[in-house]
A and B are shown apart, each in its own frame.
Chain A
Amino acid sequence: EAGVAQSPRYKIIEKRQSVAFWCNPISGHATLYWYQQILGQGPKLLIQFQNNGVVDDSQLPKDRFSAERLKGVDSTLKIQPAKLEDSAVYLCASSTRDVGLAITDTQYFGPGTRLTVL
């Protein structure tokens, strides 16, 4: 099956500019995640969608970041305006929940978008 697709793979912008990233999850996966991974650190969850609804956006800097998943399939993450500290790899992941005696929820990650803010 096809994996999680992300574009672009690389983006260089100047501070105060805007940028948008696109993610297409694995077909049939209801849950979609956006992560920010700063160099030398582990990924940090920015936002989690269940279908087209937001489950968790507690770590999303809402003054400059926004994300949407209008039809419950693909998603866009936008930064407006960008700051130097936004330089990072932005990862998209998707999962499908298997709820039984124990919840199993394996996330499948895309290749990421490397953003450099100058």
Chain B
Amino acid sequence: AQSVTQLDSHVSVSEGTPVLLRCNYSSSYSPSLFWYVQHPNKGLQLLLKYTSAATLVKGINGFEAEFKKSETSFHLTKPSAHMSDAAEYFCVVRAWGGDDKIIFGKGTRLHILP
């Protein structure tokens, strides 16, 4: 079975400062991990995904995430926040083989302060 925990329900950063959204997962099998973003009244959009090719994954809009197996983490980062980054972010785990389930985290609301 797999699970995913987003450690912060809300994160506030000032515009131009770094962003860190934390995600921990558990999985009995080698997982695929995703980050999705949801802007108000808009659909979910894929930011990036990890599928065992490279541990450091680059996504859209300057976001990246690093898969750390020893820490079972897949934290999302961005060097410099922009006002347009204000949204809800979801970490997603999917394990291939055995009990194939897609599990979304509860989400982290990112607030950008001017």
**Which residues of chain A have a CB within 8 Å of any CB of chain B?**
3-4, 33, 35, 40-45, 48, 55-56, 91, 93, 101-112
Contact = CB atoms under 8 A, between A and B. Distances in A.
Interface of B: 32, 34, 36, 42-46, 49, 51-53, 90, 94, 96, 100-102, 104-107
B44 A43 contact: yes
A61 to B, nearest CB: 17
Contacts of A102: 32, 51-53
18 contacts: A3-B43, A42-B90, A42-B106, A43-B44, A43-B104, A44-B104, A45-B101, A91-B44, A101-B53, A102-B32, A102-B51, A105-B32, A105-B94, A107-B44, A109-B43, A109-B44, A109-B45, A111-B43
Given A105-B32, A105-B94, A109-B44, A45 B102 contact: yes
B46 A106 contact: yes
A19 B34 CA distance: 32
Contact of B90 (A40, A43, A45): A43
A112 B45 CA distance: 13
A9 to B, nearest CB: 10
A103 B51 CA distance: 7
B107 A42 contact: yes
Nearest to B9: A40
A44 B106 CA distance: 10
Given A41-B107, A45-B102, A106 B43 contact: no
Contact of A56 (B32, B90, B100): B100
Contact of A41 (B36, B94, B106): B106
A101 B51 CA distance: 9
A85 B20 CA distance: 33
A107 B32 CA distance: 12
B23 to A, nearest CB: 11
What are the nearest 4 A-B pairs in CB distance?
A42-B104, A109-B44, A102-B51, A109-B43
A110 B43 contact: yes
Given A93-B44, A111-B42, 19 more contacts: A40-B106, A41-B107, A42-B105, A42-B106, A42-B107, A43-B90, A56-B100, A91-B44, A102-B52, A102-B53, A103-B32, A104-B32, A104-B49, A104-B51, A105-B32, A105-B94, A106-B46, A107-B44, A111-B43
